[in-house]
Structures are given as structure tokens and as C-alpha cells.
């Protein structure tokens, strides 16, 4: 990651963290950009006495939140969240996006759904005219063969995501398998999302097309941010 990207991610994360108000219950997404937001939140907790609770979308985010002194809670205790802060892999002009590089898209979708406002933090390199990045798909192991077959029929060229320092597939925080699909340029992201998510055994794919109205994208740049 270049220095410019690091600075851009940090600017986006810090800006989003400053949108958080005292008493809020917030969703904490997964990924390097969200971690900058959490870094800033931890400073605000210490310096301002900011009183918040976060619902983490992954084991990694929960661990980081504990390191940062951000109190955690669950969707069972708070099924409605004031705001969720999360990253993205690619964002189009309609604020449709692809997520799930970290295989956390299912919990990220739950938290985004629960939140009144969805604040997406990203660097400029994530913006695109047409979505074309790899689309992650999380599925229960029982349904593996069926899901692969259906994804092939959708011309998704499915590939099992392999673990690092572990042989075989990535097993997600939900005990499921992650598959990456390459659809090339995606003409109708909403329709594709529905088709994939309707395959029996699929938990959730990384296409996020349903949150446009409550989404604010904070695009980090080297000299500040712009919001979409
Ligand atoms: O599963 C991972 C998430 O969808 C991330 O939010 C996304 O991949 C962006 O990550 P990063 O901020 O590290 O680029």
C-alpha cells in the first residue's frame, strides 16, 4: 500500500469517526480503513469521554476494538444502530458497491441493515464507473457443490478462496466457505445480487446495492475528504 493510500484511508476513517456522537450505538465494519476510524474513536473516548458502544462485524474488528478500548455490544442487545462505519472494495456512481475482501460481508450486511445511516470509508482508488471487482460469496459447506454449479451458470468463474498459512479454503467467522467470482463488468448489480443471494446455501454475497438512500461515502484523499 502506497503512502498516499495510507494517508487517504486515514483521512476517511478519521472524518467518519468524527461523525459519531455521544451515546451512539454504532456498527464497526472490517478492514484497514475502518481501523483508522476506530483509532480516532479510541482517542475521542480517552480525550472527550465519548460514550459509545460498537457492534463488531468480525473477530478481527472485535479484537482491535478491545485493544482500542471501544466497548462492544451485540445486535441482540441493540437491533437498531445509529450508524455503521464500513469499508468497500469498489463503489459505483449509484453508491452500489462490492465488499468482502476480508470475508466479512455477511455480518457487514446485517450491521448495515440495522443502522440508520451507513457511512462507507474508502480511498479514491475504490471509485469506479462500473463494478467489475471480484464478488465474494459466503456459503454453508453443505451447499458447496450446488452453489459452485449455480455460480458457473451465472458465468461467475467461481474460485474457492484459499487460506494463508492454512491449506484449503478460507473458513469465515461464521464457519462457512468463501468463494470469489469474476463476472467482469457487472451491468445490473441489483439483479445479480438477488440471483446470487437466492441460491440455497448462500449466506450473502459482496454486492451491496440496497443501502443507497442511507449511505454516505467518505472518500479519503491525501489532502482531506470528499463525501458522496
Ligand atoms: O470483508 C471486508 C470488508 O468488506 C472491507 O470493508 C473491505 O474489503 C474494505 O477493506 P479495506 O478498507 O481494507 O480496503
pLDDT of residue 100: 98
Helix (H/G/I), strand (E/B), else coil: 20: coil
Domains of the chain: 3-128+210-227 (3.40.50.1360), 135-204 (3.30.70.260)
For 194-218, the pLDDT digits (tens) are: 999 999 999 999 999 999 899 999 9
Query: Is a pLDDT exceeding 90 seen at residue 192?
Result: yes
- For the chain, give the mean pLDDT: 97
Annotated binding residue 224 = no
Query: Is a pLDDT exceeding 90 seen at residue 158?
Result: yes
Cβ proximity of 86 and 119 under 8 Å: yes
- Cα 21 to averaged position of ligand 1 atoms, centre (Å): 24
Mean pLDDT of 40-67: 98
Cell matching residue 133 = 471487482
**Cell 467461481 appears where?**
158
pLDDT of residue 143: 98
pLDDT of residue 126: 98
- Cα 153 to averaged position of ligand 1 atoms, centre (Å): 27
Q: How far apart are CA 37 and CA 76, in angstroms?
A: 24
Query: Is a pLDDT exceeding 90 seen at residue 190?
Result: yes
Mean pLDDT of 67-89: 98
What count of residues does the chain have? 228
Mutate which of 89, 96, 211, 219 to test ligand 1's pocket (most atoms within 8 Å of Cβ)?
89
Ligand 1 atom 6: residue of nearest CA: 87
Mutate which of 59, 97, 99, 134 to test ligand 1's pocket (most atoms within 8 Å of Cβ)?
99
pLDDT of residue 70: 98
pLDDT of residue 225: 96
What's the pTM value of the predicted model, to 2 decimals? Answer: 0.96
Annotated binding residue 66 = no
Q: How many CA atoms lie within 13 A of 132 on its CB side?
A: 6
**Cell 454486492 appears where?**
207
Annotated binding residue 2 = no
User: What is the helix (H) or strand (E) element at residue 114, kind and residue range?
Assistant: helix 105-114
pLDDT of residue 1: 86
Mean pLDDT of 157-163: 97
- Cα 222 to averaged position of ligand 1 atoms, centre (Å): 19
pLDDT of residue 113: 98
Query: Is a pLDDT exceeding 90 seen at residue 115?
Result: yes
Amino acid at each position: 500500500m502506497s503512502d498516499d493510500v495510507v494517508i487517504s484511508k486515514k483521512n476517511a476513517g478519521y472524518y467518519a469517526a468524527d461523525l459519531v456522537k455521544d451515546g451512539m450505538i454504532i456498527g464497526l465494519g472490517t478492514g484497514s480503513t475502518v481501523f483508522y476510524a476506530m483509532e480516532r474513536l479510541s482517542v475521542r473516548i480517552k480525550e472527550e469521554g465519548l460514550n459509545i458502544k460498537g457492534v463488531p462485524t468480525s473477530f478481527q474488528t472485535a479484537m482491535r476494538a478491545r485493544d482500542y478500548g471501544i466497548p462492544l455490544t451485540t445486535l441482540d442487545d441493540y437491533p437498531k444502530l445509529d450508524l455503521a462505519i464500513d469499508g468497500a472494495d469498489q463503489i459505483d456512481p449509484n453508491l452500489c458497491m462490492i465488499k468482502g475482501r476480508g470475508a466479512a460481508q455477511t455480518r457487514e450486511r446485517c450491521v448495515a441493515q440495522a443502522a440508520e445511516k451507513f457511512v462507507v470509508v474508502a480511498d479514491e482508488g475504490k471509485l469506479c464507473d462500473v463494478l467489475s471487482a471480484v464478488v465474494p460469496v459466503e456459503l454453508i459447506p453443505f451447499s458447496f457443490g450446488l452453489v459452485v454449479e449455480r455460480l458457473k451458470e451465472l458465468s461467475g468463474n467461481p474460485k474457492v478462496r484459499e487460506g494463508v498459512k492454512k491449506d484449503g479454503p478460507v473458513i469465515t467467522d461464521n464457519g462457512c466457505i468463501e468463494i470469489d467470482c469474476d463476472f467482469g463488468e457487472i451491468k445490473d448489480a441489483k439483479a445479480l445480487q438477488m440471483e446470487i443471494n437466492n441460491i440455497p446455501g448462500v449466506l450473502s454475497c459482496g454486492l451491496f446495492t440496497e443501502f443507497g438512500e442511507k449511505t454516505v461515502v467518505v472518500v479519503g484523499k491525501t489532502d482531506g475528504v470528499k463525501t458522496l
